[in-house]
Structures are given as structure tokens and as C-alpha cells.
Structure 1
Amino acid sequence: MTDTTPHQPLAAERRAHILSALHNDGAVRISQLTDDLGVATVTLRRDLAQLEKEGVLRRVHGGAVAGTNTPAPATRDDETQTGSIAVLVPSLAYYWPGVVRGMETAGRRLGYKMLLRGASYELQDERPVLERLVANGDVRGLVVAPNTDTAHAADVMSWLSDCPVPSVLVERDAVPGAGGIPRESVTTDHALGALLAARHLATLGHRKVGLILSRHSPTSRKIAGGWQTACEELALTPADHFEQTLPDRTSPDFSDVVNATLDSALATGVTALLVHSDPEAMAFVDLALTRGISVPDDLSIIAYDDEVAQLFTPALTAVSPPRASVGEAAVELLARRIAEPDRPVHRVQLSPRLNVRASTAAPRS
């Protein structure tokens, strides 16, 4: 008798499939895993819970995103190592894992070992961390995302200028160093991301829109600049530009501020919002739906970052920075600088894209 029962993947196979999806997309969705693997949802939830305990991933609504300990694909034993590149980013949780994965991909391809350190947005002076990294004898260069809003920011930039190994800034403007020489950098054109969002809303017929920003984020300032220019060019909110900065999500008044912002938006006739970043956008949708405000019929919402926006219900239209490509480009740029110390300073800017999903629609007549 022929066995026609569908093959049920073993735990190791499920794990390998989940890890592959995390490396390729930075996120997994339970519904997609169910279709791909043909196993029960409860089994997949247990798998994700176990992987979260190991630090491999972080569970979110509807699935999971890569964690701080997501293992890199195996490398060949015969790969030639040409030294190390040290990386200092402000977080190993949100946004930055995608950038780091791109760095690791480029590092493996170019034969560099990656030394990764996570600081925090609260760290005032990154110089001691950078000094410890450079003290490792085989470090050939640095990829750094410094905090540009502290009293020590200028000192950190001066230290990078005087450092015996070259450096590349990632997702930070090329702040002039000693003598006004611009720093080599790779950034996302976040102003363009805001333009893409505004253009999408204008095409749908929205005329009065609002911008919601995260406090203390270097990205927010760039989004705000691009959004203001785009709204003026597209005749969106020409009379009274609606803009709100939110407190940190851990703040006790976060929900109250979101609710008050929804009140202000609806009272002034706003029909669409661009919200930075994904968790803040999801909070707006949750509170709106709780209050009986339909998304997108009453209020269209675009998230900025697209880290987990596609996993939400409804799936959020989102501006997606090319995180992995930014990381790859930063390591590639540094490798060129190591190989050619006298080449001109390069300041690379990559374009984001807009992923249209279920949270935006034409406004009600």
C-alpha cells in the first residue's frame, strides 16, 4: 500500500526552514510557515517560543523577527580571513539586526570577521567602546552608527578622524570631522521615503494628512524634512500642517498621547497618517479600532520602517528602508577604503521603497 500521508517535517527541518526565512526576509509569518511546512499552528508557536528563549528570534504579532543571536549561515573552513571589521550600532533589537545581517553577508564574501557591539541610544560617549574594539590587534576598520545628539558627539567624530584605522558611518549623516573633511557614510534617503508615502496618499485622494514621529530618533528629523517638502509640493495640508512627536513607548502616558493625537487628527479632518515607526503605527491602529475608527476607511495609516508591519492585521502599508543593502554597502565601502587609502571620500545614499498593503485606501466621500 502506498503511503499518501503528507510528510511532516522533523523539528530540525522546521528550525532550518525558520532560520532560512529569517536570513532571507528578516521575519517569518506563522500563516506562511503553516502553508510551507504543513504543520499545526500550535506546533509552530512552540517552535517560535523555543527559538525566542535561545535569542534566535523575537516573537511579534502574527510571527517573529530575527533576534540578537540569529546564527549566521555556515562558512567554509577554507575561507581566507583578511582581518576583522568592528561594528558599533546603537541597538541589537529593533531595525539594526537587518543592517547587521547585510554587514555579515558582505564580510563573509570579502573575507572579514565581524566584531559586533551594541551600545544604546542613552550612551553619551562611545569612545571607550570604540577604543576597546580597536585594541583588538586585527581590526582593519570600523563601521559606526554614533549618537549624534549628545555633548560628546563632536569628540567622537574627532576621535574617528584621528583613529589609526578607517571608518564608515552607517545611517548617520557624514558629519564633518577635523578640518571640515566629510566622513565616509552609507545612509538611507529617508526624505525620499516620506515623499513616497505622501505621494501614495495624494494619489489615493487624501488632501489632509498628518505626520507622527518617534522622539529622539535621528531618522525622524530626515522624515520630517522630506514630508514637509512633499506636502507642500503635493498641496497636502496646505493651511495647517499636522505633526505630533510621541513619547517613548515605555512612557506611562504613551497611550494617552496616542488617543489625544487621534482626537486632534479627526477633529481637524485628517484622513491619513504617516507614523514612525512600526510599533507606534500598530499602536495607532489598535487604539483606533478599539474606538470604532475603521482603518483604512476612516483613517489610512502608513508605517515607517517596515520591520514588522507586514505581520500586523491589517497588514500595514509601509516605507521600507533597504536595511540589509545599507549594511552590505557600508562594509564594501570600508573594504575599498582599506584597499585604497587615498581614494576620494564616498557618501552613499540608498533609496527606500513603499510596500502598499491593507492599511491605506481612498478616503470616504
Structure 2
Amino acid sequence: MTEHAPRAPLAAERRAHVLAALGREGVVRVADLVAELGVTPVTIRRDIANIEAEGLLHRVHGGAVVRMEGEEGVRDGGRPSPTTSVGVLVPSLDYYWPGVVRGVEAAAAAQGLRTQLRGSSYEAADERPAVRRLVETDGVRGLLLAPNTDSPHAQDLLQWLATSGVPSVLVEREGSLAPHREALESVTTDHALGALMAVHHLADLGHRRVGLVLSRQSPTSRKIAAGWRRACAQLELAANEHFERTIPDRRQPDFSDIVDSVLETALSSGTTALLVHSDPDAMAFVQHAQDRGVSVPGDLSVVAYDDEVARLYSPALTAVSPPRAAVGHAAVDLLVKRLADPTRPVHRVVLSPQLVVRESTAPAHR
């Protein structure tokens, strides 16, 4: 008997699936829909664009979010009440940020606030248009945002926020205003502490040569690097006993070759442990090591930074876990207090991550 390949779902079936997922979660991600429906990313993005044209969702980077009843849209043209909405601008819904957004949404709902989520991207040169639309068109009362602080327009955006009259809180970002460097309200994770904890964990296991591998794209990388360097100094690791590298986005064609090159540097230098940001990059290093016959953690211990999917790999990865939902909660709390008392001092809240020890770290071979 001939076996037939599963039938690809029709457009109407895909539409129903997307809307059902939005109804359950309030957010859908392209990668998840591709896996669930067995179609290409191009097909899913086209479906999402068509549903957005119906006024039923908002496209954001990596997926879409539900459009609230009465929100400005293609059909109804209505605007949310400026007394109940806060704007949220994040760079992605593919990774890290969904956990923060869930924390924001839960805390906002508890305060009787509605969130209006918008997506930017790490490549955005100027995010002022998106922020202005939230304020001037959508009528939000406050802003929670994670702008690209490396952009040449970053200071222009921060100055605009300071003079807009709309309270704002930076999320996993820090900012100050020229010329006197007055700080803006912010909630951040102490990523430097997270890296320091990871290196001390590895040192406690007897590792003296600890490498650091960072994502070239992520603004978090510089803080992780600072914590790693501080830990190396505290532990008196000499310069020839550790190394630091940055790697490109996983979608770049040379990613695999660079991972191989960095791994070769680690093995040839006697490095016995790596701290890698982020989880998927750490997984890539483990896979390449195993392909070479290098045992993890027998020959090489690996700590991932982010703990988004680290537990799902085999071996389950020891990871630094930022408190993503708590960051979202704290950001809403700061914004609500600022709305209630515009004259209160600027608050900068720093939350500590956790180190979750799993199967990818073990004592170093003597």
C-alpha cells in the first residue's frame, strides 16, 4: 500500500490555527507556526500579513500579537483610552523577550492597564517613529521600551523621551541624557554578575582555562564580558589561561566555520570550559565538540547564558538564567509609580540572575 505525505493545510485552516493560537496565548511566533503547520516561513509571514489586513493582529519582529478590541486598526479606526494603555517596544519576539513581555502583560493586567506591543529590531537605525506612533497615534499613557542603545540615533531618542511628557522605563537597557548624564528610569538584569557566577562555578570545579564566546549582535554581551573579566581577575587567571571571542548571528553563512575556528582555539590552548552567550550558540559549540569526539562535560564544560532552551538540550546545559518575567513585572511597577507621582526620584532597578547547574559542567581533568 502506498503511503501518502501529510496534506499541507489550506489557507483557511492556517488562518484558523493562527487565530486560535492568538486567542490562547496573545502572541504567535513564526518559528512555532512553521513547526506546527509544516509549511514554510514565507507562507506563515504571508498568512500573518493577510490577517493583519483584516485588523485582527499586529505583526512584530518574529511573529504577531493580538489586536485588542477598540485598538486602532484597518477596520474600526478606534483608539484606545489614553487612561488605560501603556506602550511596549521590544526588539524581537523570537528569543528572550517573550518572557519579559509575559511579565509585563501579567503585571499590567493586575493594575488594570492594557498593553500595546510593538516590535522593533536590533538593526533599527532610528526607533523614534515607532515610539512616536505609540504616543501620538495610539495615545498610550506610558512607555516600556528596549531601544537599540548602540544606534547613532540613540541619544536623540532618549532626549525625545525625556521631553515627551510621557513617563518611560527602559527595559534591559540603561540610558543617560547629555550633557550632564542624568539617568533615565530603568529595570535591568545584572548580567555582569551572571557571568561572574558562571566563572566562579567553573573555577570551583577546577577549571583554570575558561573561554568566553559572545554574540556580536547582542547589547548584553558587553556586560557579560565585564563580569567575566572581573571574575578572571578575582581568580587570578593569567591572560594566557583564558580567551574571549565574538561570533556572528547564526543565520550568517560563515557561522559554522567560525564556531569550528573558535573551538579549535579552545582545544589547542588547553581550555577546559566555555561560557557562551546565548543558548543556541552554546548548543552549536556542544554539537561541534561532539562531532570532533570531544566529550561534554568530560573534556569540555559549557555554561550557556540566557537559559531559554538550555534545559532541553542533551546534555542539559548549565546556564545563567536572567529573571525575565520579574524584569517585566518590575518595569510595570516603576511605570505605575511614576504615573502616580511624577516628582519621585529616578529609580534604576537591578535584578540578579540565577545559575542553574545541570549536566554540561563537571570537574576539570587534572
Q: Pick the TM interval, shorter chain.
A: 0.7 to 0.9
Confirm or deny: 8 A CA contact 1:207 1:237 kept in the other structure. no
3-state SS of 1:143 partner: strand
1:108 equivalent in structure 2 = 109
User: Partner of 2:101: helix, strand, or coil?
Assistant: helix
Picking from 32, 36, 50, the partner of 1:49 is 36
Alignment CA distance shift 1:336-1:296 (3 Å): same
| Structure 2 CA distance for partners of 1:301 and 1:123, relative to 1, 3 Å | same
Contact 2:158 2:175 in 1 (8 A): no
1:311-350: CA deviations, max 9, x gaps? 1111000000000000110011001000110001000000
Could you tell me the TM-score, scaled by structure 1's length? Answer: 0.78
Hey, what's the Cα distance between the residues in 1 that align with 2:82 and 2:184?
Answer: 27
* 1:174 positional shift: 3.1
User: For 1:93, what is the secondary structure of its paired residue?
Assistant: coil
Q: For 2:345 and 2:298, how far apart are their aligned partners in 1?
A: 51
- Give how far 1:217 is off: 1.5
Change (3 A) 1:305 1:137: closer
Written as runs of structure 1 = structure 2, the 5 A alignment for 1:109-128 is 109-128=110-129
The match for 2:87 is 86
Structure 2 match to 1:98: 99
Change (3 A) 1:81 1:124: closer
Match of 1:361 in 2: 362
CA distance in 1: counterparts of 2:82 and 2:360, whole angstroms: 46
Q: CA 1:180–1:276 in structure 2 vs 1: closer, same or farther (change >3 Å)? A: same
Q: Paired residue for 1:192?
A: 193
1:286 aligned residue: 287
Deviations 1:28-87 (A, max 9, x none): xxxxxxxxxxxxxxxxx99972599999xxxxxxxxxxx855889xxxxxxx99510001
Q: 1:120, 1:302 → 2: CA distance? A: 27
Residue 234 of structure 1: CA displacement?
Answer: 1.4
Letter of the aligned partner of 1:171 in structure 2?
A: E
**TM-align CA RMSD:** 2.6
Which letter does structure 2 place at the counterpart of 1:245?
A: T
* Equivalent-residue separation in structure 2 for 1:82 and 1:122 (angstroms): 32
SS at match of 1:318: strand
Q: Distance in 2 between matches of 1:177 and 1:68?
A: 35
Output the amino acid matched with 2:108: G
Q: Indicate if the aligned counterparts of 2:82 and 2:141 stay in contact, CA closer than 8 A.
A: no
Unaligned 5+ residue runs, structure 2?
1-16, 26-31, 46-61, 68-80
Post-superposition offset of 1:251? 1.2
Contact 2:82 2:139 in 1 (8 A): no
Change (3 A) 1:114 1:70: closer
* Equivalent-residue separation in structure 1 for 2:203 and 2:289 (angstroms): 22
Distance 2:145 2:33 in 1: 37
Corresponding position of 2:133? 132
Alpha-carbon shift at residue 363 of structure 1 (Å): 1.3
Query: Does 2:217 correspond to 1:236?
Result: no
Contact in 2 for aligned 1:215/1:248 (Cα 8 Å): yes
SS in 1 for 2:220: helix
What is the TM-score of this pair, normalised by structure 2? 0.78
Query: Cα distance 1:71–1:117, how it changes in 2: closer, same or farther (>3 A)?
Result: closer
Equivalent position of 1:58 in the other structure: none
Query: Counterpart of 1:335 in structure 2: which amino acid?
Result: V
Residue in 1 aligned with 2:77? none
Q: Tell me the distance in 1 between the aligned counterparts of 2:178 and 2:100.
A: 24
Please tell me the residue identity of whatever aligns with 1:278. D
Alignment pair present for 1:246 and 2:247: yes
Distance in 2 separating the partners of 1:46 and 1:122: 24
Q: Compared with structure 1, are the counterparts of its residues 255 and 171 closer, same or farther at alpha carbon in structure 2 (3 Å cutoff)?
A: same
Check the 8 A contact 2:195/2:224 in 1, yes or no. Answer: yes
Deviates more, 1:179-188 or 1:198-207: 179-188
Query: For residues 300-320 of structure 1, what are the alpha-carbon distances to aligned partners after superposition, in whole Å with 9 as ceiling and x for unaligned?
Result: 000000001011111000000
For 2:53, the equivalent position in structure 1 comes to none
1:233 counterpart letter in structure 2: Q
Identity among equivalent pairs (%): 59
> Which letter does structure 1 place at the counterpart of 2:171?
V
Query: Structure 1 residues 203, 140: CA separation in 2 closer, same or farther (over 3 Å shift)?
Result: same
Is the 2:186–2:331 Cα contact (8 Å) retained in structure 1? yes
Deviations 1:269-291 (A, max 9, x none): 10000000001000000111011
Instruction: Name the CA shift for 1:148/1:297 in 2 (closer, same or farther; >3 Å).
Output: same
Partner Cα distance (1:273, 1:241) in 2: 9
Amino acid at match of 1:101: R
Query: Equivalent residue for 1:212?
Result: 213
Task: From the superposition, tell whether residues 131 and 71 of structure 1 become closer, same or farther in structure 2 (CA, over 3 Å).
Answer: closer
1:180: how far off? 2.9
Letter in 2 for 1:277: S
Q: Is the 8 A contact 1:188 1:326 kept in 2?
A: yes
**Corresponding pairs, count:** 307
Write the letter of the residue equivalent to 2:95: Y
Letter matched to residue 116 of structure 1: L
How do 1:282-321 and structure 2 match up within 5 A? 282-321=283-322
Distance 2:324 2:266 in 1: 31
- Stretches of structure 1 that go unaligned for 5 or more consecutive residues are 1-14, 24-44, 56-66, 73-79
